[in-house]
Amino acid sequence: MSSVTVRVPAKVNVQLSVGPLREDGYHDLVNVFHAVSIFDEVVAKEAEGITVQVNGKWSDQVPIDDSNLAIRAARALAKHAGRSYGAELIIHKNIPVAGGMAGGSADAAGALVACNELWGLGLPMDDLMEIAGDLGSDVPFSLIGGTAVGTGRGEQLSELPTGGTFHWVFALANGGLSTAKVYAECDRLRAESNAEVPWPTLNDSLMEALGTGDAYALGAHLSNDLQPAALNLRPELGPTLDSGRQHGALGAIVSGSGPTCAFLAIDATHARDLAESLTATGAAHTAVAAHGPVQGATVI
Ligand code: C5P
């Protein structure tokens, strides 16, 4: 095989509960991931060394040096296999960069699946999941997609059944936010308020809403502990969230560490209308309608 193409989705967190800061600098989470239909494509072609090029939206914001997560994924896979394989990786970007939608993690997951195929390794999902967890907390979820709860750093996953398709609108912001900075701001705000940080637990009402496919109930139970920190760093997101609620969103939330804002719509038509309203009123410069859950990294 001389070329493999993998399609890999973005995510939104429908519950992101952040526990106390751990000694290793991470936080224990209850992180309910939901994969949505905004996709990057990762192509892996036979080559000597491992290189990456990025095209499509925001490609100029993605590093193509050794810090690129897709390169690191391909290297980690080659190391795991014990051989010095090569691949030219070509990423077609659609997922916002540093937007709180796991764009970098998606590309890493895409590279793992593409190179596993290109190099004929045939490694099982369990092996890929282990390598993925070392690359980043969100990479394992990008492999499996669907809807899943992540504990630990977010890398220990259990799949969750959902009772239907949910329709979303994503308001893309100008520029990204560093995940590490948003967590640090969350810690700072917590220290300032002196409040006890509870151990994170799964919201049963949210589980029920996902299981029954009830968008109204899901909208009412969306939660994100990183939202106050993201809003502190990017105050202009507050009016964006308000505008979505005014246009009938069932729930409005910062996606992960932001700055993308996620709005749950009633159905596909409402999602299209909501996206139009958000851009027409200037509340968002770009708004994209999408649905979830969708499957994780897939060879196409
Ligand atoms: O795992 P990943 O590299 O994606 O994490 C990026 C940063 O986000 C970490 O360096 C850490 O600051 C923060 N983080 C955290 N707790 C988690 C996941 C990420 O504090 N569970």
**Residue given tokens 């949910």 in the structure block:** 166
**265 φ/ψ sector (left φ>0, alpha ψ -120 to 50, else beta):** beta
- pLDDT given at position 230: 98
Q: Which atom of ligand 1 is nearest to the CA of 154?
A: 21
**Distance between CA atoms of residues 44 and 25, nearest Å:** 33
Is 45 annotated in the active site? no
**Residue given tokens 């040096």 in the structure block:** 65
Task: Give the residue whose CA is nearest to atom 13 of ligand 1.
Answer: 180
- pLDDT given at position 213: 98
- Spacing, Cα 233 to ligand 1 middle (Å): 17
Options 11, 40, 93, 214, the catalytic residue: 11
Q: Which atom of ligand 1 is nearest to the CA of 29?
A: 21
- Spacing, Cα 216 to ligand 1 middle (Å): 31
Q: Please, which residues bridge with residue 120 across strands?
A: none
Task: Give the residue whose CA is nearest to atom 9 of ligand 1.
Answer: 180
pTM higher than the cut 0.95: yes
Q: Which atom of ligand 1 is nearest to the CA of 31?
A: 21
- pLDDT given at position 8: 98
Residue 44: CA count within 13 A, CB half-sphere: 31
- pLDDT given at position 89: 98
Q: Mean pLDDT in each 10-residue stretch from start to end of the chain (300 residues)?
A: 94 98 97 98 96 92 92 98 95 96 98 98 97 97 98 96 97 94 98 94 98 98 98 97 98 98 98 98 95 98
Q: Which residue in 255, 300, 245 sits closest to 278, CA to CA?
A: 245
Is 225 annotated in the active site? no
Options 40, 107, 138, 225, the catalytic residue: 138
Q: Which residue in 149, 167, 163, 151 sits closest to 262, CA to CA?
A: 167
For ligand 1, mutation pick of 137, 151, 182, 186 (most atoms within 8 Å of CB):
137
- pLDDT given at position 58: 85
State whether the beta carbon of 257 lies less than 6 angstroms from ligand 1.
no
Q: Please, which residues bridge with residue 16 across strands?
A: 31, 224
State whether the beta carbon of 27 lies less than 6 angstroms from ligand 1.
yes
